[in-house]
Structure 1
Amino acid sequence: MTLTLASALALLAYALAAWRGRGAQAMPWLGLGWAAQAVALLVDIGGLGDGAAGARFGVGPALSLTVWLVMAVALLEGRMLPLEALRRPLALLAAAAVALAWTLPGQSHQASSPWAPLHWALGLASYGLVGAAVLHAWLMQRAEAHLRSARPAVGPGLPLLRLERLTFQYVAGSVVVLGAALALGAWFSPRWQWDHKTVFALLSWGVLAALWLGRWRLGWRGRQAARWVYFGSALLLLSYAGSRFVLQVLLGRSV
């Protein structure tokens, strides 16, 4: 019941934020939706009221948490960057994520090691960091395209160099956090499994690490860097969320 009420409140708030659009009236509704989504995620992933020990994960909560973390970044940076044009798309994306998490709730997972919760937290945090990198890479591309065409940028005075710096900061953070999650999982797991989740996560880490190194040694930037960010994020999406979607939704298996 708490999950349903929190999800319904989040959906309503995000719908009102999308309706308000770019106006300042959208901000309170975005904040309310973000808070209600946090409660829904806490109830779902924490398994509150479920009666079963252990955390609950699934494709819906994973994607919802990713969007929630990206929304948190956007709300914080909205005080420093003119991101008014993103309010409606983010509100619609967050509403879709809440609906998906409510439709496909998490399933109970028992911790195989005391380090397992930290591994799970790092893995989910890496999704949020990569999602933030994708958001900034897209903004960077838009700002660069408008600058080349002498048209107004995404928002008034959107700074291209600052967006580029933020994009690579999130890429660096995702490399560190995802690498730590992979190392921790390999360390406490009794038997390393080369399943789809592990392979795609390693490939994603390799792509993002190569981008980070290319930025540092070769000065990669602009559209080239954005394509690497998109490719790395697609691989990461296929790792956990993609494999769970196939197992949980397409094959109907308990994972």
Structure 2
Amino acid sequence: MYTYFFVLAALLYVACGFLPSRQRIVLSAGTALAWLLHGGALWADMIAPGTLRIGFAIVLSATLWVSVAAFWLENRNFSLDGLRVLVLPTAAVAVVLPVLFPGSVVPLEGKSSLFPWHIAIAILAYSTLTIAAFHAMLMAVQESRLHTPSEASKGGWLDVAIERLPALLTMERLLFRLIAFGFGLLTLTVLSGVVFSEQLFGMAFKWDHKTIFTMLSWALFGLLLAGRFWRGWRGKTALRFTLTGFATLLLAYVGSRFVLEVVLHRSLT
């Protein structure tokens, strides 16, 4: 039954993604309703007594669910309408993926009661850095329009959305706030992953593609924050680091699980 909620949430996300920005109340209410439907269906699909359903589609869907919440809250403090047209259509695609790719069921028996918290922290880390990546893409467009304004596209819906964004320096401060928070969550994910690695794989630490990509992403975001603090990195350097770190993190779990589940038809956790 929750399949219908996934589909309904996707339709609402699409509608809210492309409605005119002047309908702020409708957009806010529609996004909140879609988010509630998405979350309820995700909870029913992922969690059952004694088990947890895990897969690339479910993790991606959960990541976008939290990202939509972050956008909705952030948009109440700042005018970030340009972010809406990036986040909501992407969430519309992600919300229906668990219907097509259900993943695998992981029994919780014999695992620590803190194991689900490791999954939750990882999803929060992915979500925060996902919204940071969307933020960086929007900043790249904003910066490009400032340096090379296009008269042909002036007045278009994207131009209107870009014009309503906060100043570039404010956007940059928001970006680094998101990255710092996401880096902290990613650090907790890495540390808790070391703790639970023995339960999952029978060894203290497993160096596989998922671990390598996660550590590389962690190093990139850490280097970016260090460069910001010590060298004042900003602008295109910050955007490149953000998008590269996000792409690497996406490969760490979602990309590797996609290959295992869809290409190789394996259901290993």
CA distance in 2, matches of 1:92, 1:27: 15
**1:14 corresponding residue in structure 2:** 13
| Residues 134-143 or 236-245, more deviating | 134-143
Q: Is the 8 A contact 1:82 1:155 kept in 2?
A: no
1:98-150 superposed Cα distances (whole Å, 9 cap, x missing partner)? 12122112421134323311211111111001112112212222332333346
| Aligned residue in 1 for 2:57 | 60
Q: 1:234 aligns with which of 214, 225, 247?
A: 247
Q: Give the letter for the 1:37 counterpart.
A: H
**2:238 maps to which residue?**
225
Indicate the RMSD between aligned Cα atoms, in angstroms. 1.9
CA contact (8 A) 1:55 1:109 kept: yes
In the alignment, the residues of structure 2 paired with residue 237 and residue 113 of structure 1 have an alpha-carbon distance, to the nearest angstrom, of 26
- Count of matched residue pairs: 250
> What does 1:167-182 correspond to in 2, within 5 Å?
167-182=175-190
- Contact in 2 for aligned 1:83/1:155 (Cα 8 Å): no
Deviation at 1:159, TM superposition (A): 1.9
State the match for 1:127 in structure 2: 126
Distance in 2 separating the partners of 1:15 and 1:139: 19
1:199 to 194, 212, 228: 212
Q: Structure 2 matches for 1:1-255, cutoff 5 A?
A: 1=1, 3-24=2-23, 25-47=26-48, 53-111=50-108, 112-149=111-148, 154-156=162-164, 158-190=166-198, 191=203, 192-255=205-268
Q: Secondary structure at the match of 2:15?
A: helix
Moved more, 229-238 or 167-176: 167-176
1:91 Cα deviation (Å)?
A: 2.5
TM-score norm. by structure 1 comes to 0.90
Percent identical among aligned pairs is: 36
CA contact (8 A) 1:21 1:88 kept: no
Matched residues in 2 for 1:22 and 1:110: separation?
A: 45
Q: Give the whole-Å Cα distance in 1 for the aligned partners of 2:91 and 2:47.
A: 20
Contact 1:53/1:108 (<8 A) preserved: no
CA distance 1:241–1:80, change in 2 (3 Å): same
Distance 1:186 1:86 in 2: 35
Q: Per-residue displacement from partner, 1:51-106 (whole Å, max 9, x unpaired)? A: x6221111111111111122111111212222223334332211111121221124
Stretches of structure 1 that go unaligned for 5 or more consecutive residues are none
Residue aligned with 1:55, SS: strand
- Do the aligned partners of 2:210 and 2:251 also contact (CA within 8 Å) in 1? yes
Q: Which sits farther off after the overlay, 163-172 or 186-195? A: 186-195
Gaps of at least 5 residues in structure 2 are: 151-158
Q: Is the 8 A contact 1:123 1:178 kept in 2?
A: yes
